[in-house]
Amino acid sequence: MYDFFSRIYFEEISEESLALLRQQDNQIDFGDAELAKGYVNLQKSVDQVASDEDNLEELAADYASLFLGIGRRPAHPYESVYLGSEKIAMREPYHEVAKIYFTEGLSISDEVREPEDHLALEFEFMANLCRKIEEALRKDDAVEVTRLLNLQKSFSEKHLISWIPDFCDDVVVGSAKLTFYSAIAALTKRFVVLDNQYLNTATN
């Protein structure tokens, strides 16, 4: 899920990615009624986009309006904008997450033009930790699993749950004719909240 959300927010969705979403099973058992409802709404929004070939261009315009700051009601995908004292990009939270990435031996590719506190990169970091946890489990390294789960919990609390719900609300408010990004935002918000609850349980 973190990989999925990272791709969605990093760049405008392609026709191929939309086609893949249409092929997904609507009967997935999420174990949470609200998350399941959000996924059904996402599938409906994908069908809406697919109903008219002009909608893909409209969806690209929605992405630019919401996340590239050119719309009347943008939802800036940067933690610094929501939590920084000056409410602008590349302030305190940016430096904090950059330090965390560095500590974990991670760096942003030179091809990526976004700062470290971009929503997509924070989600990719969580996905990376999930992969590390899987590897540690295969090695029966309980100490490393515990360390990584605690890191995920800390990162979720300080750098996800602290601003992403507000960001998602702004996406819903700023969404235009198509419902795709408002559906994505609702799904994102619920998932982040649920995963934060899971991490609190798993580390106690």
Tens digit of pLDDT at every position of the chain (204 positions): 999 999 999 999 888 888 888 877 665 667 888 888 888 899 999 998 988 888 889 999 999 999 998 878 889 999 999 987 666 666 778 899 999 999 999 888 777 788 899 999 999 999 999 999 999 999 999 999 999 999 999 999 999 999 999 999 999 999 877 899 999 999 999 999 999 999 999 988
d(CA 107, CA 99): 10
17-30 tens-digit pLDDT: 888 888 776 656 67
The tokens 């998932």 sit on which residue?
A: 191
pTM: 0.92
Ranges of each domain in the chain:
2-8+41-202
Neighbours of 140 (CB within 10 A): 8
- Dihedral over Cα of 49, 52, 53, 55: its sign: negative
32-51 tens-digit pLDDT: 888 888 888 999 999 989 88
Topology of domain 2-8+41-202 in CATH is TorD-like (1.10.3480)
Cα torsion through 68, 84, 116, 129, rounded to 10? -120
Cα torsion through 7, 120, 45, 14, rounded to 10? -30
The tokens 């191929």 sit on which residue?
A: 16
Identity of residue 87: K
The tokens 């969806």 sit on which residue?
A: 59
Going from the C-alpha of 162 to that of each of 32, 83, 111, 140, 155, the distances in angstroms are 22, 8, 28, 32, 10
Going from the C-alpha of 34 to that of each of 12, 19, 23, 26, the distances in angstroms are 26, 24, 21, 14
- Dihedral over Cα of 70, 74, 75, 76: its sign: positive
